[in-house]
Structure 1
C-alpha cells in the first residue's frame, strides 16, 4: 500500500488497539546475562545452555535500596536469589540468560507489612536447563522465540484493484491508527481512515488559540483531531488488560520502533509525555463506501475527565483508591484517582461552546510545580441523582446527565 502521510502520535490511554496486533508475539527484550547456580558451583555459562527452556517468573520482589544500587546489572546477587527462590528447583537445574520484561513499584499497605517496606515488582524471562515445577501466575513455561524480530516489509500490491476488500476506519485515535497500521500490511485490503478533526499541524495552532485566547474550534481541540485526545495528554501508556501479553508488547515495540524510549518496554508505568510524539506512516485515500467499518470514535459524547490538585506531591506514578459508605450508609462504592499527572498542568478539554470540561497533561520532564488528577466515583442507575434523567431518557439518561453537568458549568466563550 502507498503510505504517504507522516503524522504525529498520541499516548495510548486505551489499549483496545491490541485487538489489531494479536498476529505476532515476538518481542524485543533488554537482557541481562549472568551465570547462576542452584547448588552447583560448576555452572555453565548462559551461552552454553543448549537444551534450555524459557520460563517467565512473576512477582520477583526487589527492595528500593537494591534497585537503586543497580539491581538490573547482570552481576547483582539480589535478582539472582529472587529467580532461584521463584523457581524453587533442585541442585541439578542451571539458570542461564535472564531478560527483564517489566518492573513496577508496589507500595500497597499489605506489601509494606509483609516485606518491611515498598518493593519493586519484577517480571523476568529465564533460560533454564533441568526440570522446573510450573506454578500458574508465578512460574510459567514459554515458547522460545527470537529476541528481536524486525517489522515485516510493507507488501506490494500484486492483486487487481477490483479484488481489494474495502475497510473504512472512523477516528484516528490510538485504536484507529493501529487498525490502519495493521491493515496497511495486508495486500488485499484497501483502507480509508476518516477523522473529523484537523491534521496535527493545524490542530496545534487551534489548541494554542484555545489556551491563549479562549478561541474554541469545535472540530479541532484537545479531544478531536489527528492522533485523538491522547496527542495532547499526559502520555501514559498504562493498561489493565494483559500488561505482559504479546499484544500489549507489540504496541510498545511499535512505539519504540518509531522513536519512543526503550524504557517503556520494561517500565510498569510507561510514560512518553505530550512533547515526545513519535511519527508513523499512515494511509491516505479518497472517500469510498464499504460494508466493513472500524470505529474509534473517542470522547464524542463523553467528557474526558475532570482534574484538579495542588503542589507538594512527589513526581511519581500512583493511584489512590478507597471504598466509601454511601449517603444512606447501606453500602459502599469505590472512589479512586484517575490519570494522575505529576508535574503537569490542567488544560481546557471542551468540545463546544457553553460547556466546561478539563483534562490533565504533562510533558516528558514532568517539571511543573503541580500535579493534577481526576477523582472518580461510580454512579448506579438507581441513584437518586440519575432518577429524573433515566425516567425521561431511558438508557441515554446517563449521557444526558453528563451533558447537563458540562453545560451547567459554562457560559459563553472559553
Structure 2
C-alpha cells in the first residue's frame, strides 16, 4: 500500500506541475492567438476603409463633383463614404467600428473627443519623427465585455487637392460652406496631421473562443490523466504490487513457519504470544500455554534414521492441529519440542486439551517406528509475568512430567501474585 501511495503521490505531483505549466503556456498561447486574430481583423477592416476611400476618390468623386456646385453631396467625400459603408457592417457585426476623427473637423460628428485628441497628438508626433514610415498605433480600449482592440493611423495632408475644401473658407465650395458653415475644417496645411483613422474590433468573441478552447484542452488533459492514472495503477498492481505482495507473503511464511512441520516457528510464536497477552490483559480473559516434547526421540533417530524421525515430527504436527481451534496456535519450539497457545482458556480446559493431544500421539502408532509418547507441561498466565516467565513455568512442569515417568501431563505451579498492602498511616508494607 505504501508503494502505491508513494507512486500515486509522485504521479499526482508530476501531473499537477505539468498541468499548471501546460495550462499557463496554452492559456497565454490562446490569448496571444486571440489578440493576433483581432489585430488581423482590424488590419483587414482598416484596409477595407482605405480601399473604399480610394474607390470613392477615383470612381465616385469625379462624376459627382459637378453636382456639388448646386448642392453639396457628402458622398463625394472619401472619409464620409468609408465611415458610412463600414457603419452598415457594424449593424450586422456589433462592436466593429471605423471612424475618422479630426481635431478641427468640418462635419461635427467627426470631431475628436478627449481620448481621440490625445491619440491624434501621439500619431502626429510619431509621423513627424518618421515622415517616410507608415505610422500605426494599436492598443486596448474599454473594459469587460466592451473591451476592443483599436488600430489608428494618422490622417496627414499629402494631396494639395484636399486644400480646395479645407484651405481658406473663401476657396471652399459654397454648397459645403452652406451645409457646415465656416467654423471648422479650414486652414489645413500640407504635411499637417489633422486627424486619424481608427478601427475598433471587439475582443469578446475571440477571447470567448480562446476560453472555450482552453477549457476543452484542460478537460481533455484531465481525462487523459485519469485514464493514464487508472492504467498505470492497474499495471502497477499486476506487474509490481501483486508479485511483490506474493513474494512478501512467501518470505513472511518462510521466516515464520517451520519448514518441516508447517507449524509456526519460535520467533512467530513469541510474537503471537505477546499479542494475545496484550488482548487478554485488556479483556481480562484467560490464556494458557502447553509445552511438550516427544519421549526418547533421539532413540527414534538412532534406531530408524533421521528420515523416520522427521516423519514422526510431521505426523505429530498433523495430530496436534486436528485438535486445536482456529484461534489457537501450535509451534515447533525446537528439535522435538512443541508449544501450544490457547487463548481464552483457563487451566482446567488447557489440561484437558493437553491430555487429548497426549492421547492422540500415544494411542495411534506411527508408521515404521510404532508407538511414540510425549510429556506435557501446562501453565496459565497470571496477567503479571512476562512471556518468558510463563514459558519457563510450563517448561518446569514438562520436566516434572519427565521425572514422573513420561507420557503424562503436569500442571505448572502457579506463581504467587504480589500485592501491595497499605498500612493505616498510608505507608506500604
TM-score normalised by length of structure 1? 0.16
Asked which structure has the greater RCO (Cα within 8 Å, sep 6+), the reply is 1
Larger Rg computed on CA atoms:
2
Larger proportion of strand: 1
Normalization by structure 2: what TM-score?
A: 0.16
Point out the structure with the larger helix share. Answer: 2
